[in-house]
Chain A
Amino acid sequence: MEAESEFKEYYAKNMRGISGWFNRAYTIERWLYAAHRITGILIVLFVLAHFYSTGWHPGLWWDALLGIIVTFHTANGIRLILAELGFAVGKPLLIKKPSQRPVSIEGVQRYVVVFALVLFVVLAAIWAYYALIVQPMMG
Protein backbone atom coordinates (compact mmCIF):
# COMPACT_ATOMS: atom_id res chain seq x y z
CA MET A 1 0.00 0.00 0.00
CA GLU A 2 2.87 2.32 0.86
CA ALA A 3 4.64 1.49 -2.39
CA GLU A 4 1.45 2.32 -4.27
CA SER A 5 1.15 5.75 -2.67
CA GLU A 6 4.84 6.44 -3.39
CA PHE A 7 4.26 5.42 -7.00
CA LYS A 8 1.32 7.81 -7.25
CA GLU A 9 3.26 10.61 -5.56
CA TYR A 10 6.12 10.19 -8.05
CA TYR A 11 3.80 10.95 -10.97
CA ALA A 12 1.83 13.63 -9.14
CA LYS A 13 4.99 15.57 -8.18
CA ASN A 14 6.46 15.21 -11.68
CA MET A 15 10.00 16.08 -10.51
CA ARG A 16 12.73 15.22 -13.02
CA GLY A 17 15.51 14.59 -10.49
CA ILE A 18 19.03 13.98 -11.80
CA SER A 19 17.67 12.85 -15.17
CA GLY A 20 16.53 16.49 -15.50
CA TRP A 21 20.17 17.54 -15.93
CA PHE A 22 20.39 15.78 -19.28
CA ASN A 23 18.18 17.25 -21.93
CA ARG A 24 19.25 17.89 -25.48
CA ALA A 25 16.56 20.53 -26.01
CA TYR A 26 18.64 23.26 -24.40
CA THR A 27 21.86 25.15 -25.14
CA ILE A 28 25.46 23.97 -24.58
CA GLU A 29 25.55 25.58 -21.11
CA ARG A 30 23.20 22.84 -19.92
CA TRP A 31 25.69 20.12 -20.98
CA LEU A 32 28.54 22.04 -19.37
CA TYR A 33 26.45 22.27 -16.17
CA ALA A 34 25.92 18.48 -16.06
CA ALA A 35 29.55 17.72 -17.01
CA HIS A 36 30.85 20.16 -14.37
CA ARG A 37 28.83 18.47 -11.63
CA ILE A 38 29.84 14.94 -12.69
CA THR A 39 33.55 15.82 -12.98
CA GLY A 40 33.29 17.54 -9.59
CA ILE A 41 31.96 14.36 -7.97
CA LEU A 42 34.66 12.25 -9.65
CA ILE A 43 37.40 14.63 -8.46
CA VAL A 44 36.08 14.34 -4.88
CA LEU A 45 36.24 10.53 -5.19
CA PHE A 46 39.84 10.73 -6.45
CA VAL A 47 40.79 13.18 -3.69
CA LEU A 48 39.51 10.69 -1.07
CA ALA A 49 41.83 8.04 -2.50
CA HIS A 50 44.59 10.65 -2.77
CA PHE A 51 44.19 11.51 0.92
CA TYR A 52 44.46 7.83 1.83
CA SER A 53 47.74 7.51 -0.05
CA THR A 54 49.23 10.58 -1.74
CA GLY A 55 51.51 8.42 -3.88
CA TRP A 56 48.62 6.50 -5.43
CA HIS A 57 47.56 7.25 -8.96
CA PRO A 58 45.35 5.18 -11.25
CA GLY A 59 47.94 4.41 -13.97
CA LEU A 60 48.63 5.09 -17.68
CA TRP A 61 45.26 5.52 -19.49
CA TRP A 62 43.40 6.19 -16.28
CA ASP A 63 45.87 9.01 -15.61
CA ALA A 64 44.95 10.54 -18.97
CA LEU A 65 41.25 10.18 -18.06
CA LEU A 66 41.89 11.85 -14.72
CA GLY A 67 43.54 14.65 -16.71
CA ILE A 68 40.43 15.10 -18.86
CA ILE A 69 38.25 15.28 -15.74
CA VAL A 70 40.46 17.76 -13.90
CA THR A 71 41.22 20.02 -16.87
CA PHE A 72 37.56 20.19 -17.88
CA HIS A 73 36.57 21.15 -14.34
CA THR A 74 39.31 23.80 -14.29
CA ALA A 75 38.53 25.36 -17.67
CA ASN A 76 34.77 25.37 -17.13
CA GLY A 77 35.31 26.64 -13.59
CA ILE A 78 37.04 29.73 -15.00
CA ARG A 79 34.04 30.33 -17.26
CA LEU A 80 31.66 29.92 -14.33
CA ILE A 81 33.63 32.32 -12.15
CA LEU A 82 33.45 34.95 -14.89
CA ALA A 83 29.71 34.37 -15.49
CA GLU A 84 28.62 34.06 -11.87
CA LEU A 85 30.47 37.21 -10.83
CA GLY A 86 28.45 39.02 -13.49
CA PHE A 87 31.37 39.82 -15.85
CA ALA A 88 30.34 37.75 -18.86
CA VAL A 89 26.55 38.02 -18.81
CA GLY A 90 26.07 41.49 -20.30
CA LYS A 91 23.71 44.24 -19.23
CA PRO A 92 19.89 44.17 -19.00
CA LEU A 93 18.27 45.40 -22.21
CA LEU A 94 16.10 48.46 -22.57
CA ILE A 95 14.98 47.61 -26.09
CA LYS A 96 14.16 44.05 -27.13
CA LYS A 97 13.77 42.61 -30.59
CA PRO A 98 10.52 40.71 -31.31
CA SER A 99 12.22 37.36 -30.79
CA GLN A 100 15.00 38.44 -28.46
CA ARG A 101 17.56 35.78 -27.60
CA PRO A 102 19.05 36.08 -24.09
CA VAL A 103 22.17 38.24 -23.85
CA SER A 104 23.54 36.13 -21.00
CA ILE A 105 23.77 33.13 -23.35
CA GLU A 106 24.48 34.58 -26.77
CA GLY A 107 26.51 37.63 -25.79
CA VAL A 108 30.10 37.68 -24.50
CA GLN A 109 29.42 34.46 -22.61
CA ARG A 110 29.48 32.47 -25.90
CA TYR A 111 33.07 33.57 -26.49
CA VAL A 112 33.91 32.58 -22.91
CA VAL A 113 32.44 29.11 -23.63
CA VAL A 114 34.67 28.78 -26.71
CA PHE A 115 37.68 30.00 -24.69
CA ALA A 116 36.93 27.48 -21.91
CA LEU A 117 36.60 24.59 -24.38
CA VAL A 118 39.84 25.50 -26.18
CA LEU A 119 41.63 25.82 -22.83
CA PHE A 120 40.25 22.41 -21.83
CA VAL A 121 41.54 20.75 -25.02
CA VAL A 122 45.00 22.34 -24.67
CA LEU A 123 45.37 21.47 -20.97
CA ALA A 124 44.03 17.93 -21.49
CA ALA A 125 46.48 17.40 -24.39
CA ILE A 126 49.44 18.56 -22.26
CA TRP A 127 48.30 16.32 -19.37
CA ALA A 128 47.84 13.33 -21.70
CA TYR A 129 51.31 13.91 -23.24
CA TYR A 130 52.88 13.74 -19.78
CA ALA A 131 50.75 10.80 -18.64
CA LEU A 132 51.14 8.66 -21.77
CA ILE A 133 54.60 9.57 -23.11
CA VAL A 134 56.80 11.39 -20.58
CA GLN A 135 55.79 9.45 -17.45
CA PRO A 136 56.41 5.91 -18.92
CA MET A 137 59.79 7.08 -20.34
CA MET A 138 60.80 8.28 -16.89
CA GLY A 139 59.70 4.92 -15.51
Chain B
Amino acid sequence: MASEEAKEYVLPPEVLEETVKASEELWKPVRKIKFRIYKYNPRKDYAPHWEEHELEVSRGMTVLDALLIIKGETDHSLGIRYSCRMGLCGSCAMMINGKQMLACQTRVLEAAGSGDVVELRPLDNFPVERDLAADFTSFFEKHRAVKPWIIRNDEVELNNPTGPYKQTVDEYARYYQFTDCIKCGACLSACPTAATDYEYLGPQALAQAYRYIVDTRDDGLDVRIPIVDTEHGCWRCHFAASCSDVCPRGVDPAQGIQLLKKLLIKRKFGLKPHKPAEALPAKVKAEKEG
Protein backbone atom coordinates (compact mmCIF):
# COMPACT_ATOMS: atom_id res chain seq x y z
CA MET B 1 0.00 0.00 0.00
CA ALA B 2 2.77 2.34 1.01
CA SER B 3 4.67 1.62 -2.19
CA GLU B 4 1.55 2.35 -4.31
CA GLU B 5 1.15 5.74 -2.60
CA ALA B 6 4.81 6.48 -3.09
CA LYS B 7 4.53 5.65 -6.79
CA GLU B 8 2.13 8.54 -7.31
CA TYR B 9 4.88 11.04 -6.44
CA VAL B 10 7.56 9.67 -8.75
CA LEU B 11 8.40 12.07 -11.57
CA PRO B 12 7.36 10.97 -15.06
CA PRO B 13 10.40 9.46 -16.82
CA GLU B 14 10.50 12.14 -19.54
CA VAL B 15 10.49 14.97 -16.94
CA LEU B 16 13.15 13.17 -14.91
CA GLU B 17 15.28 12.72 -18.02
CA GLU B 18 14.89 16.40 -18.90
CA THR B 19 15.87 17.47 -15.36
CA VAL B 20 18.95 15.25 -15.35
CA LYS B 21 19.90 16.58 -18.79
CA ALA B 22 19.54 20.21 -17.67
CA SER B 23 21.56 19.51 -14.54
CA GLU B 24 24.31 17.81 -16.56
CA GLU B 25 24.35 20.80 -18.90
CA LEU B 26 24.70 23.17 -15.94
CA TRP B 27 27.58 21.27 -14.37
CA LYS B 28 29.42 20.36 -17.60
CA PRO B 29 32.93 21.96 -17.66
CA VAL B 30 32.92 24.74 -20.26
CA ARG B 31 36.02 26.85 -19.69
CA LYS B 32 39.40 26.76 -18.02
CA ILE B 33 39.77 29.58 -15.50
CA LYS B 34 42.92 30.62 -13.65
CA PHE B 35 42.43 31.46 -9.97
CA ARG B 36 44.94 33.90 -8.44
CA ILE B 37 44.63 33.44 -4.71
CA TYR B 38 46.14 35.63 -1.98
CA LYS B 39 48.12 33.55 0.51
CA TYR B 40 49.19 35.10 3.78
CA ASN B 41 49.44 33.98 7.37
CA PRO B 42 50.35 37.05 9.49
CA ARG B 43 51.65 34.84 12.31
CA LYS B 44 54.15 33.03 10.08
CA ASP B 45 54.75 34.78 6.76
CA TYR B 46 56.97 37.80 6.20
CA ALA B 47 54.85 39.04 3.28
CA PRO B 48 51.88 37.79 1.28
CA HIS B 49 52.26 35.95 -2.00
CA TRP B 50 49.93 34.81 -4.79
CA GLU B 51 49.21 31.25 -5.80
CA GLU B 52 47.67 30.23 -9.08
CA HIS B 53 45.36 27.30 -9.71
CA GLU B 54 43.70 26.28 -12.94
CA LEU B 55 40.27 24.73 -12.91
CA GLU B 56 37.71 23.56 -15.45
CA VAL B 57 34.56 25.45 -14.47
CA SER B 58 30.95 24.88 -15.36
CA ARG B 59 28.14 27.38 -15.86
CA GLY B 60 26.62 26.81 -12.44
CA MET B 61 29.84 26.78 -10.43
CA THR B 62 30.19 29.51 -7.81
CA VAL B 63 33.50 30.92 -6.59
CA LEU B 64 32.98 29.11 -3.28
CA ASP B 65 32.47 25.78 -5.12
CA ALA B 66 35.73 26.40 -6.98
CA LEU B 67 37.57 27.30 -3.76
CA LEU B 68 36.36 24.12 -2.07
CA ILE B 69 37.54 22.05 -5.04
CA ILE B 70 40.96 23.78 -4.87
CA LYS B 71 41.10 23.23 -1.11
CA GLY B 72 40.11 19.59 -1.47
CA GLU B 73 42.36 18.71 -4.41
CA THR B 74 45.34 21.01 -4.78
CA ASP B 75 45.91 23.29 -1.79
CA HIS B 76 44.73 21.86 1.53
CA SER B 77 46.20 24.77 3.50
CA LEU B 78 43.89 27.37 1.91
CA GLY B 79 42.18 29.46 4.61
CA ILE B 80 38.56 30.40 3.79
CA ARG B 81 35.51 31.12 5.90
CA TYR B 82 32.08 29.92 4.79
CA SER B 83 28.96 28.43 6.29
CA CYS B 84 25.52 28.42 4.66
CA ARG B 85 26.52 28.48 0.96
CA MET B 86 23.36 30.39 0.02
CA GLY B 87 24.01 34.06 0.78
CA LEU B 88 22.39 34.13 4.21
CA CYS B 89 25.24 33.95 6.73
CA GLY B 90 27.62 36.52 5.22
CA SER B 91 30.75 34.53 6.07
CA CYS B 92 32.29 34.22 2.62
CA ALA B 93 32.55 37.88 1.57
CA MET B 94 35.85 38.53 -0.21
CA MET B 95 37.39 40.63 -2.96
CA ILE B 96 36.55 38.92 -6.24
CA ASN B 97 38.36 40.65 -9.12
CA GLY B 98 38.72 43.78 -6.99
CA LYS B 99 35.14 44.09 -5.75
CA GLN B 100 33.46 42.91 -2.56
CA MET B 101 31.15 39.97 -3.27
CA LEU B 102 29.86 36.84 -1.58
CA ALA B 103 31.81 33.86 -2.91
CA CYS B 104 28.73 31.64 -2.61
CA GLN B 105 26.55 33.94 -4.72
CA THR B 106 29.00 34.79 -7.47
CA ARG B 107 29.39 32.45 -10.40
CA VAL B 108 32.93 32.00 -11.63
CA LEU B 109 32.08 32.76 -15.26
CA GLU B 110 30.17 35.87 -14.19
CA ALA B 111 33.18 37.09 -12.20
CA ALA B 112 35.66 36.26 -14.97
CA GLY B 113 33.59 37.98 -17.68
CA SER B 114 35.42 37.84 -20.98
CA GLY B 115 38.78 37.20 -19.27
CA ASP B 116 40.04 33.93 -17.88
CA VAL B 117 41.49 35.05 -14.54
CA VAL B 118 39.65 35.35 -11.22
CA GLU B 119 41.64 37.18 -8.54
CA LEU B 120 40.70 36.49 -4.94
CA ARG B 121 41.80 38.60 -1.96
CA PRO B 122 40.58 38.96 1.62
CA LEU B 123 38.29 41.94 2.28
CA ASP B 124 40.05 45.32 2.08
CA ASN B 125 40.30 47.41 5.26
CA PHE B 126 39.94 44.32 7.48
CA PRO B 127 42.93 42.75 9.25
CA VAL B 128 43.91 39.46 7.61
CA GLU B 129 43.23 36.38 9.71
CA ARG B 130 44.64 33.97 7.16
CA ASP B 131 44.56 33.83 3.35
CA LEU B 132 41.00 34.81 2.35
CA ALA B 133 39.55 35.01 5.87
CA ALA B 134 39.40 38.46 7.47
CA ASP B 135 39.33 39.35 11.17
CA PHE B 136 35.90 40.80 12.07
CA THR B 137 36.61 41.73 15.72
CA SER B 138 36.55 45.52 15.23
CA PHE B 139 33.63 45.25 12.81
CA PHE B 140 31.45 43.55 15.43
CA GLU B 141 32.69 45.95 18.11
CA LYS B 142 31.45 48.85 15.99
CA HIS B 143 28.15 47.07 15.44
CA ARG B 144 27.79 46.50 19.20
CA ALA B 145 28.73 50.14 19.92
CA VAL B 146 25.47 51.47 18.39
CA LYS B 147 23.43 49.20 20.73
CA PRO B 148 21.64 47.18 18.05
CA TRP B 149 18.67 46.14 20.14
CA ILE B 150 15.34 47.65 21.23
CA ILE B 151 15.91 50.01 24.16
CA ARG B 152 12.91 50.67 26.43
CA ASN B 153 12.60 52.98 29.40
CA ASP B 154 9.36 51.52 30.82
CA GLU B 155 10.65 48.63 32.85
CA VAL B 156 7.20 47.68 34.14
CA GLU B 157 5.84 47.15 30.64
CA LEU B 158 9.02 45.36 29.63
CA ASN B 159 8.84 42.87 32.49
CA ASN B 160 5.06 42.42 32.44
CA PRO B 161 3.93 43.10 28.88
CA THR B 162 0.26 44.06 28.55
CA GLY B 163 0.09 43.06 24.90
CA PRO B 164 1.93 43.12 21.58
CA TYR B 165 3.33 46.37 20.16
CA LYS B 166 1.27 47.60 17.24
CA GLN B 167 2.93 48.91 14.10
CA THR B 168 1.41 50.16 10.87
CA VAL B 169 2.83 49.09 7.51
CA ASP B 170 4.30 52.58 7.01
CA GLU B 171 6.09 52.38 10.35
CA TYR B 172 7.39 48.91 9.47
CA ALA B 173 8.54 50.09 6.02
CA ARG B 174 10.77 52.73 7.62
CA TYR B 175 13.21 50.13 8.93
CA TYR B 176 12.42 46.80 7.19
CA GLN B 177 15.03 47.29 4.45
CA PHE B 178 17.84 47.56 7.01
CA THR B 179 16.87 44.40 8.89
CA ASP B 180 18.16 42.35 5.94
CA CYS B 181 21.79 43.04 6.89
CA ILE B 182 23.81 39.81 7.21
CA LYS B 183 26.97 41.49 8.57
CA CYS B 184 29.18 40.25 5.76
CA GLY B 185 31.44 43.32 6.04
CA ALA B 186 31.31 44.17 2.31
CA CYS B 187 30.07 47.73 2.96
CA LEU B 188 32.78 48.65 5.49
CA SER B 189 35.38 47.13 3.20
CA ALA B 190 34.17 49.19 0.19
CA CYS B 191 33.94 52.46 2.13
CA PRO B 192 36.69 54.94 1.10
CA THR B 193 36.31 56.78 4.40
CA ALA B 194 36.93 53.57 6.36
CA ALA B 195 40.12 53.12 4.30
CA THR B 196 41.65 56.18 5.95
CA ASP B 197 39.75 56.54 9.25
CA TYR B 198 40.20 53.45 11.45
CA GLU B 199 37.73 54.69 14.06
CA TYR B 200 34.89 55.43 11.63
CA LEU B 201 31.81 53.46 12.71
CA GLY B 202 31.13 52.41 9.14
CA PRO B 203 28.05 51.98 6.97
CA GLN B 204 26.87 48.77 8.62
CA ALA B 205 26.80 50.10 12.20
CA LEU B 206 25.30 53.46 11.20
CA ALA B 207 22.56 51.87 9.08
CA GLN B 208 21.73 49.60 12.02
CA ALA B 209 21.63 52.61 14.36
CA TYR B 210 19.08 54.20 12.01
CA ARG B 211 17.14 50.94 11.83
CA TYR B 212 16.64 50.90 15.62
CA ILE B 213 16.11 54.65 16.01
CA VAL B 214 13.16 54.74 13.58
CA ASP B 215 11.57 51.60 15.03
CA THR B 216 8.44 52.78 16.88
CA ARG B 217 9.07 50.24 19.65
CA ASP B 218 12.45 51.75 20.42
CA ASP B 219 13.08 54.54 22.93
CA GLY B 220 16.87 54.75 22.68
CA LEU B 221 17.44 57.84 20.51
CA ASP B 222 19.04 59.81 23.35
CA VAL B 223 21.30 56.87 24.17
CA ARG B 224 22.47 56.48 20.56
CA ILE B 225 22.94 60.16 19.69
CA PRO B 226 26.27 60.56 21.57
CA ILE B 227 27.52 57.50 19.65
CA VAL B 228 26.47 58.37 16.07
CA ASP B 229 26.53 62.19 16.23
CA THR B 230 30.33 62.38 16.43
CA GLU B 231 33.40 63.05 14.32
CA HIS B 232 33.76 59.33 13.59
CA GLY B 233 30.01 58.81 13.32
CA CYS B 234 27.53 59.65 10.59
CA TRP B 235 29.09 63.05 9.73
CA ARG B 236 32.20 61.29 8.45
CA CYS B 237 30.21 59.80 5.56
CA HIS B 238 30.55 61.83 2.35
CA PHE B 239 28.29 59.72 0.18
CA ALA B 240 30.61 57.73 -2.07
CA ALA B 241 27.73 55.20 -2.00
CA SER B 242 30.06 52.24 -2.59
CA CYS B 243 28.58 50.51 0.47
CA SER B 244 25.18 50.34 -1.21
CA ASP B 245 26.78 49.38 -4.52
CA VAL B 246 28.39 46.23 -3.08
CA CYS B 247 25.71 45.16 -0.57
CA PRO B 248 24.66 41.63 -1.58
CA ARG B 249 21.30 41.96 0.21
CA GLY B 250 20.11 45.32 -1.14
CA VAL B 251 20.20 46.93 2.30
CA ASP B 252 21.33 50.34 0.96
CA PRO B 253 23.33 51.53 4.01
CA ALA B 254 24.21 54.84 2.28
CA GLN B 255 20.53 55.74 2.29
CA GLY B 256 20.27 54.84 5.99
CA ILE B 257 23.20 57.11 6.90
CA GLN B 258 21.82 60.10 4.94
CA LEU B 259 18.38 59.61 6.53
CA LEU B 260 20.08 59.42 9.94
CA LYS B 261 21.76 62.78 9.23
CA LYS B 262 18.40 64.21 8.16
CA LEU B 263 16.82 62.98 11.39
CA LEU B 264 19.61 64.49 13.53
CA ILE B 265 19.43 67.87 11.73
CA LYS B 266 15.65 68.00 12.06
CA ARG B 267 15.94 67.20 15.73
CA LYS B 268 18.59 69.89 16.29
CA PHE B 269 16.35 72.53 14.71
CA GLY B 270 13.30 71.21 16.52
CA LEU B 271 11.50 70.77 13.19
CA LYS B 272 10.20 67.30 13.90
CA PRO B 273 10.99 66.01 17.38
CA HIS B 274 11.43 62.26 17.39
CA LYS B 275 8.47 60.54 19.00
CA PRO B 276 9.41 57.02 19.97
CA ALA B 277 7.34 54.22 21.42
CA GLU B 278 3.93 55.58 20.53
CA ALA B 279 2.61 52.08 20.15
CA LEU B 280 2.73 51.19 23.83
CA PRO B 281 0.31 48.28 24.25
CA ALA B 282 -1.16 49.55 27.53
CA LYS B 283 -1.83 52.96 25.99
CA VAL B 284 -3.50 51.47 22.93
CA LYS B 285 -5.63 49.25 25.20
CA ALA B 286 -6.62 52.16 27.45
CA GLU B 287 -7.60 54.26 24.42
CA LYS B 288 -9.76 51.45 23.09
CA GLU B 289 -11.50 50.96 26.43
CA GLY B 290 -11.77 54.63 27.24
**Residues of A in contact with B (beta carbons under 8 Å apart):** 4, 7-8, 11-21, 23, 25-27, 29-30, 32-34, 36-37, 80, 83-86, 89-94, 96-97, 99-105, 109
Across-interface contacts of B128 in A (CB, < 8 A):
11-12, 14
Binds A, one of B7-15, B171-179, B222-230: B171-179
Cα(A86)–Cα(B244), bound, Å: 15
Cα(A53)–Cα(B288), bound, Å: 73
Q: Interface size class for chain B?
A: 35 or more
Quick one: given A7-B47, A20-B192, A25-B98, are A84 and B173 in contact (CB under 8 Å)? no
Which of A11, A14, A16, A102 is in CB contact (< 8 Å) with B250?
A102
The reply on B102 being an interface residue by CB < 8 A is no
The answer on a CB contact under 8 Å between A20 and B195 is yes
Q: List 23 A-B contacts (CB under 8 A).
A: A14-B128, A15-B124, A16-B124, A17-B195, A20-B195, A23-B98, A23-B242, A26-B99, A26-B242, A26-B245, A26-B246, A29-B240, A30-B242, A33-B239, A36-B238, A37-B238, A80-B239, A84-B258, A92-B175, A92-B256, A94-B176, A96-B177, A102-B252
Mask, B240-261, CB within 8 Å of A = 1, is 1110111100101011101101
The answer on a CB contact under 8 Å between A29 and B239 is yes
* CB within 8 Å of A: which B253-284 residues: 254-256, 258-259, 261-263, 265
Across-interface contacts of B190 in A (CB, < 8 A):
26
10 A-B pairs with least C-beta separation: A20-B195, A86-B262, A100-B250, A102-B244, A33-B240, A104-B255, A12-B42, A16-B195, A92-B177, A25-B99
Across-interface contacts of B159 in A (CB, < 8 A):
none
Quick one: given A11-B40, A12-B127, A30-B241, are A92 and B176 in contact (CB under 8 Å)? yes
Cβ-closest chain B residue relative to A28: B241
Across-interface contacts of B241 in A (CB, < 8 A):
26-27, 29-30, 102, 104-105, 109
The answer on a CB contact under 8 Å between B239 and A83 is yes
The answer on a CB contact under 8 Å between A93 and B198 is no
**Residues of B in contact with A (beta carbons under 8 Å apart):** 40, 42, 46-48, 97-99, 122-128, 134, 169, 172-178, 180, 190, 192, 195-196, 198, 237-242, 244-247, 250, 252, 254-256, 258-259, 261-263, 265
The answer on a CB contact under 8 Å between A92 and B255 is yes
The answer on a CB contact under 8 Å between A14 and B122 is yes
Q: Closest Cβ of chain B: how far from A128's Cβ, in Å?
A: 27
Across-interface contacts of A29 in B (CB, < 8 A):
239-242, 245
Quick one: given A15-B195, A16-B195, A92-B178, are A85 and B262 in contact (CB under 8 Å)? yes
Across-interface contacts of A36 in B (CB, < 8 A):
238
Q: Closest Cβ of chain A: how far from B14's Cβ, in Å?
A: 30
Across-interface contacts of B123 in A (CB, < 8 A):
14
The answer on a CB contact under 8 Å between B245 and A96 is no
The answer on a CB contact under 8 Å between A89 and B254 is yes
Cα(A104)–Cα(B242), bound, Å: 11
Q: Closest Cβ of chain A: how far from B192's Cβ, in Å?
A: 5
Across-interface contacts of A85 in B (CB, < 8 A):
258, 261-262, 265
Q: Closest Cβ of chain A: how far from B185's Cβ, in Å?
A: 12
Cα(A23)–Cα(B246), bound, Å: 13
